[in-house]
């Protein structure tokens, strides 16, 4: 599958083959893809915990459910819990991460980078300002009581996990498995450092619904959301580009495909779910 196909075939999958495990190497590939995401502030914020449904007790499994995550949890054999480590920036406050990037030529001298620039400018003017931001948010950390963290630190950490989510989702489809990002009530089964801020989890499993899953899901019109030159001037959507992207498999027929209702009825009967 090439990149455009992976984008095109990604859906939030809500029916998985509960009986079919996901090969460990596919889960590893998903994790590997998230190691390579761009890092806000040059810091590795993202953490994850892979949990196998069949290792959980019935009570723990039930406790994970939320109003928006129900039967799909019984079906998916693998859950990946994602976190951002809110202590990652204070651990990086010696600038070592940035100096390593300078050493390998990723942050080049042509752009002003050097060890002295890291120590004299970036750490005090960027890292320290973020860490000492007087505006704080009370974060429900995974391990216990809420803790106050700087608002700008939390924003950077959230961005990091969001980008990791995107890589992980696309990599899963590229590996031939379905996924859905989802809210999970995970505190009961979590035993992770208290600085790990929980983010949306990910269900992974082989599709029980078709790959089309009823078609690509509705989005706002392109020109309502994207602008060119200045706000108010819609970015003109060239139909020739759309045609090319359709040929490449990135833009696919929109939901609902005419047979979706029947597919859902069939799935409901197969899994004994309400119709």
Ligand X SMILES: Cc1cc2nc3c(=O)[nH]c(=O)nc-3n(C[C@H](O)[C@H](O)[C@H](O)COP(=O)(O)O)c2cc1C
Of 55-63, 175-183, 187-195, 229-237, which part binds ligand X (CB under 6 A)?
A: 175-183
What contacts 78, CB < 8 A, 6 or more positions away?
21, 22, 27, 50, 51, 52, 53, 203, 204, 205
92 secondary structure, DSSP code: T
Residue 100 CB, shortest distance to ligand X, in Å, is: 30
* By the rule CB under 6 A, 39 interacts with ligand X: no
Among 71, 179, 182, 252, binds ligand X (CB under 6 A): 182
Among 6, 7, 11, 43, binds ligand X (CB under 6 A): 11
Among 34, 69, 71, 152, binds ligand X (CB under 6 A): 69
Residue 187 CB, shortest distance to ligand X, in Å, is: 16
Of 141-149, 150-158, 176-184, 203-211, which part binds ligand X (CB under 6 A)?
A: 176-184
Among residues 93 and 257, whose Cβ is nearest to ligand X? 257
CA distance 146 to 197: 10
Q: What is the 3-state secondary structure (H, E, C) of 229-272?
A: CEEEEECCCCHHHHHHHHHCCCCCCECCCCCHHHHHHHHHHHHC
CA distance 204 to 184: 14
Among residues 68 and 110, whose Cβ is nearest to ligand X? 68
* By the rule CB under 6 A, 187 interacts with ligand X: no
């Amino acid at each position: 599958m090439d990149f455009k196909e992976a984008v095109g075939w990604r859906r939030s999958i809500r029916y998985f083959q509960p009986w079919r495990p996901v090969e460990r190497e596919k889960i590893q590939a998903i994790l590997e893809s998230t190691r390579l995401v761009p890092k806000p502030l040059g810091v590795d914020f993202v953490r994850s915990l892979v949990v196998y449904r069949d290792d959980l007790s019935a009570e723990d499994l039930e406790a994970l459910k939320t109003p928006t995550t129900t039967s799909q949890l019984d079906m998916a054999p693998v859950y990946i819990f994602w976190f951002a480590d809110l202590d990652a920036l204070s651990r990086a406050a010696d600038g070592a991460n940035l100096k390593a990037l300078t050493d390998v030529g990723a942050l080049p001298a042509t752009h002003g980078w050097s060890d002295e620039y890291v120590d004299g400018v970036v750490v005090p003017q960027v890292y320290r300002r973020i860490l000492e931001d007087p505006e704080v948010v009370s974060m429900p950390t995974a391990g216990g009581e809420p803790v106050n963290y700087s608002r700008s630190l939390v924003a950077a950490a959230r961005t990091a996990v969001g980008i990791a989510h995107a890589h992980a989702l696309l990599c899963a489809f590229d590996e031939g498995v379905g996924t859905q990002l989802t809210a999970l009530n995970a505190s009961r089964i979590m035993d992770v450092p208290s600085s790990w801020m929980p983010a949306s989890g990910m269900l992974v499993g082989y599709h029980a619904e078709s790959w089309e899953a009823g078609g690509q899901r509705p989005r706002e019109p392109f020109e309502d959301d994207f602008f060119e030159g200045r706000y108010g001037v819609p970015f003109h959507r060239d139909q020739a580009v759309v045609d090319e992207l359709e040929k490449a498999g990135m833009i696919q027929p929109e939901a609902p495909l005419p047979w979706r209702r029947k597919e859902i009825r069939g799935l409901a009967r197969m899994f004994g779910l309400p119709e």
